[in-house]
């Protein structure tokens, strides 16, 4: 074989080898490209599955919470439905910030006092008073009067009135009573520190010991706190005494702390 033929054959074999290597590299690149594409698709699919799982769990949790809330509301409604009238009465009369208004309506005087001095009374057993209802009697040295629930013109002519936004005796909160200093609170200035004021309700007998007396300007800070977590009897009237007019700028009050009487339990 001639030298030129051998050279030609070597070049052909070399080109064939190069071509084979190039085809192998292309095949390998194509293979890895396909594998990377499949890996990216798998990763995207896995992310979608994870997001879907989280969304399903979130929907389940929210649904469970809503169902539990609905069941709880049903249970509360079922338990407290029998007492809805009493609860509404308590809310309207003891927790409402609405100021008491004067009105003239028929008085209810069918009061029957209790001699219970210390036995606890359940809240649901209390006969809650309506407006203009005589639910208690008040007495101290020289003073004796019916107590009507609510501040009205009609009641003030027949006794003293409890402000309807304050608590009833035995509930551990302040009680405020108002009356005219020329009628049923005439002589209130004679009540001294240490004296006992007695209130008889239709569920028990309560005694309060006078802690202080004060005169204050009605437009300024009062000497008592109607939001206190302490049972106090606060008796108020217009000041000065022996003056007959329709408007007073000052108020005279007697503040007494509870010393005995049945506790109201829930």
pLDDT digit string, tens, across residues 29-44? 565 555 555 555 555 6
Which band of pLDDT confidence, cut at 50, 70 and 90, is reported for residue 18? low
End position of a domain, from candidates 53, 75, 96: 96
Tell me: pLDDT of 11 over 70. no
Residues 167, 96 contacting (CB under 8 angstroms)? no
* Domain interval for residue 78: 1-96
End position of a domain, from candidates 50, 71, 96: 96
Do 34 and 140 lie in one domain? The reply is: no
What's this model's pTM, rounded to 2 decimal places? 0.60
Q: What is the DSSP letter of 31?
A: H
Confidence at residue 98, expressed as pLDDT on a 0 to 100 scale: 44
Choice among 45-59, 60-74, 79-93, 235-249 with the minimum mean pLDDT: 79-93
Residues 150, 166 contacting (CB under 8 angstroms)? no
Q: Which of 243, 220, 224 is nearest to 233 (CA)?
A: 224
Q: Which residues of 62-97 are buried (b: 16+ CB within 10 A; e: fewer)?
A: eeeeeeeeeeeeeeeeeeeeeeeeeeeebeebeeee
Q: What is the pLDDT of residues 128-172, one digit of tens each?
A: 888 999 999 999 988 999 999 999 988 999 999 999 999 999 999
- Count how many domains the chain has: 2
How far is the C-alpha of 216 from the C-alpha of 196, rounded, in Å? 23
Which band of pLDDT confidence, cut at 50, 70 and 90, is reported for residue 107? confident
Which of residues 115 and 20 earns the better pLDDT score?
Answer: 115
Q: Which of 144, 133, 78 is nearest to 110 (CA)?
A: 133
10-24, 74-88, 214-228, range with greatest mean pLDDT: 214-228
Do 69 and 108 lie in one domain? The reply is: no
CATH number, domain of 117, equals 2.40.260.10
Do 127 and 251 lie in one domain? The reply is: yes
Choice among 28-37, 155-164, 223-232, 252-261 with the minimum mean pLDDT: 28-37
Choice among 18-22, 110-114, 149-153, 187-191 with the minimum mean pLDDT: 18-22
Do 117 and 78 lie in one domain? The reply is: no
How far is the C-alpha of 145 from the C-alpha of 149, rounded, in Å? 13
End position of a domain, from candidates 44, 63, 96: 96
How far is the C-alpha of 118 from the C-alpha of 260, rounded, in Å? 7
- Region 86-95: what's the mean pLDDT? 50
Do 129 and 235 lie in one domain? The reply is: yes
Cα 173 vs. chain centroid, distance in angstroms? 16
The length of the chain is 266
């Amino acid at each position: 074989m001639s030298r030129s033929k051998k050279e030609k054959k070597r070049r052909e074999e070399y080109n064939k080898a190069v071509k084979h290597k190039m085809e192998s590299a292309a095949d390998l690149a194509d293979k890895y490209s396909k594998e990377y594409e499949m890996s990216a698709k798998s990763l995207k699919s896995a992310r979608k599955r994870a997001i879907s799982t989280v969304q399903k769990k979130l929907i389940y949790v929210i649904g469970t919470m809503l169902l539990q809330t609905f069941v709880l509301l049903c249970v509360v409604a079922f338990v407290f439905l029998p007492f809805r009238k009493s609860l509404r009465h308590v809310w309207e009369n003891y927790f409402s910030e609405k100021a008491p208004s004067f009105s003239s309506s028929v008085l209810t005087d069918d009061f029957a006092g209790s001699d219970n001095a210390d036995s606890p009374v359940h809240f649901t057993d209390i006969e809650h008073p309506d407006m203009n209802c005589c639910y208690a009697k008040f007495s101290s040295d020289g003073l004796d009067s019916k107590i009507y629930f609510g501040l009205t013109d009609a009641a003030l002519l027949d006794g003293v009135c409890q402000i309807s936004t304050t608590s009833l005796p035995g509930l551990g909160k302040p009680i405020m009573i108002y009356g005219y200093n020329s009628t049923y609170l005439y002589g209130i200035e004679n009540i001294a520190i240490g004296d006992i004021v007695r209130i008889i309700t239709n569920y028990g007998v309560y005694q309060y010991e006078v802690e202080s007396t004060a005169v204050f300007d009605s437009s300024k800070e009062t000497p008592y706190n109607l939001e206190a977590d302490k049972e106090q009897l606060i008796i108020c009237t217009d000041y000065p005494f022996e003056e007959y007019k329709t408007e007073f700028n000052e108020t005279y009050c007697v503040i007494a702390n509870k010393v005995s009487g049945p506790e109201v339990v829930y």
